[in-house]
């Protein structure tokens, strides 16, 4: 999800109203002989680099048989605070979209844990469902990539987790503003004012520009005028990015970013971001480079921007739709379809990280 109140309004409409994708044509060559772990789950917190505390969720492999974990309105298979399985595992940080949650990609985190990865998801401060979407866009854009790195720092500082993390196998998953977060953490240089320039030229073409060209543009322009504090977390060796917001990245910065192995998803229905200005532009530019393994772009048929959020519990659906806009049968059918879509997507993500981490460990 994007960094604005407008995006939340869009979400209320698109989570409940449009048809969801039934099929995603992605080859899934997962080895049936691969061990499937049970899932441990815990919640913790660390210091936000921009001040205050930052909560995060952690899913990990365990040998303790699954029960049911209840976290907020969500229920999923696993055991809270279970003893982690022995051995070392790859680490994947999951960055949610604007106004999202550390539980927003719970099903992907579970798929990763079952496959033998540790998955950590921050609740990005000032830019989540609980706090609302912060008025200061600048602090959100500055903070997100630093918060991603802070989660890695926090885990590696704890003996219980550092002993189980393979330092050469650290990666990230990002959706929407989380995709921006991951690209920034990978070292793509940012210039925030570029987003304003883009929306002056493409106001009618990119749905996102309805946000930028609306109320608060002058305040945003003042905040974006100062140079961004650049970051490059060299511990990240690969990433999966779904329908990312890429406004602050110029073509030149994407061509010059440090190499990493990357997989991209984009929706067929471009209801929030025009792909040619965002995800497809990134892929096109990266394909021109010789030092990045062929970046893949998977188009998900009939999916829209919000299809990449994990299946939602009914209580969340009711809250989003409002008392007069909720049809239980329709909602349940849509979540069933979303679960089928995500099952295929998650298998592809697991396969990608398994292959990418072989290269990472050998570097």
- 310 vs 12, 226, 287, 318, 338, CA distance in Å? 15, 36, 29, 16, 7
Count of domains in the chain? Answer: 1
pLDDT tens per residue across span 316-341 = 999 888 777 899 999 999 999 999 99
- Helices first, then strands: H and E counts in the chain: 12, 12
pLDDT over 90 for what percent of the chain? 78
Region of 322 please: left (phi>0), alpha (psi -120 to 50) or beta.
left
What is the Cβ-side half-sphere exposure of residue 272, based on CA atoms within 13 angstroms? 35
Range of the domain at 344: 5-362
Quote the pLDDT of residue 133.
61
Q: Is the per-residue pLDDT at 251 higher than 90?
A: yes
Average pLDDT score over residue span 168-182: 98
Higher pLDDT, 88 or 213: 88
What residues have CB less than 8 Å from 78, skipping those under 6 apart? Answer: 38, 39, 40, 41, 59, 66, 67, 68, 69, 110, 113
Sorting pLDDT into bands at 50, 70 and 90, what band is 346?
very high
pLDDT at 135: 57
For 8-60, what is each residue's pLDDT tens digit? 434 433 444 343 333 344 433 334 347 899 999 999 999 999 999 999 999 99
Q: The pTM is what?
A: 0.91
CB 4 within 8 A of CB 219: no
How high is the pLDDT of residue 27?
A: 39
Give residue 168's pLDDT.
96
Q: Which of 301, 315, 312 is nearest to 15 (CA)?
A: 312
Assess whether pLDDT exceeds 80 at residue 3: no
**pLDDT, mean of residues 271-284:** 98
Cα–Cα distance measured from residue 7 to residue 98, given in angstroms and rounded to the nearest whole number: 8
Give the confidence band of 222 by pLDDT, cuts at 50, 70, 90. confident
* High-pLDDT (> 70) share of the chain, %: 89
Which H or E run includes 354? helix 328-362
- How confident is the prediction for the chain on average, in pLDDT? 89
Looking at residue 129, which CATH number applies to its domain? 3.40.50.1820
pLDDT at 282: 98
Tell me what pLDDT residue 8 has.
42
């Amino acid at each position: 999800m994007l960094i604005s109140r407008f995006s939340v309004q869009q979400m209320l409409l698109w989570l409940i109203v449009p048809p969801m994708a039934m099929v995603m044509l992605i080859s899934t060559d997962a080895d049936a002989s691969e061990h499937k772990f049970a899932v441990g789950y815990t919640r913790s917190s660390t210091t936000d680099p921009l001040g205050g505390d930052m909560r995060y969720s952690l899913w990990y492999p365990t040998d303790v048989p699954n029960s049911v974990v209840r976290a907020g309105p969500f229920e999923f298979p696993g055991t809270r605070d279970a003893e982690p399985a022995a051995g070392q595992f790859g680490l994947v940080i999951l960055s949610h979209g604007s106004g999202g949650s550390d539980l927003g990609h719970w099903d992907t985190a579970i798929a990763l844990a079952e496959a033998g990865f540790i998955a950590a998801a921050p609740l990005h401060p000032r830019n989540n469902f609980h706090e609302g979407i912060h008025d200061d866009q600048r602090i959100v854009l500055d903070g997100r990539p630093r918060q991603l790195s802070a989660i890695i720092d926090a885990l590696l500082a704890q003996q219980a987790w550092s002993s189980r993390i393979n330092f050469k196998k650290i990666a990230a998953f990002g959706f929407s503003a989380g995709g921006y977060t991951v690209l920034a953490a990978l070292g793509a240089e940012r210039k925030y004012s570029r987003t304003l320039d883009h929306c002056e030229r493409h106001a009618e073409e990119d749905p996102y520009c309805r946000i930028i060209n609306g109320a608060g543009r002058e305040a945003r322009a003042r905040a974006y005028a100062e140079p961004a504090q650049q970051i490059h977390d060299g511990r990240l060796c690969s990433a999966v990015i779904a329908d990312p917001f890429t406004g602050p990245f110029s073509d030149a910065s994407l061509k010059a970013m440090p190499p990493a192995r990357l997989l991209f998803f984009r929706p067929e229905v471009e209801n929030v971001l025009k792909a040619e200005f965002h995800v497809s532009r990134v892929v096109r530019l990266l394909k021109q480079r010789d030092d990045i393994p062929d970046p893949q772009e998977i188009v998900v048929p009939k999916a829209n921007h919000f299809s990449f959020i994990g299946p939602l519990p009914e209580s969340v659906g009711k809250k989003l739709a409002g008392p007069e806009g909720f049809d239980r049968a329709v909602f349940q059918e849509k979540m069933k379809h979303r679960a089928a879509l995500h099952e295929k997507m998650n298998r592809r993500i697991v396969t990608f990280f398994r292959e990418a981490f072989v290269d990472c460990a050998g570097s």
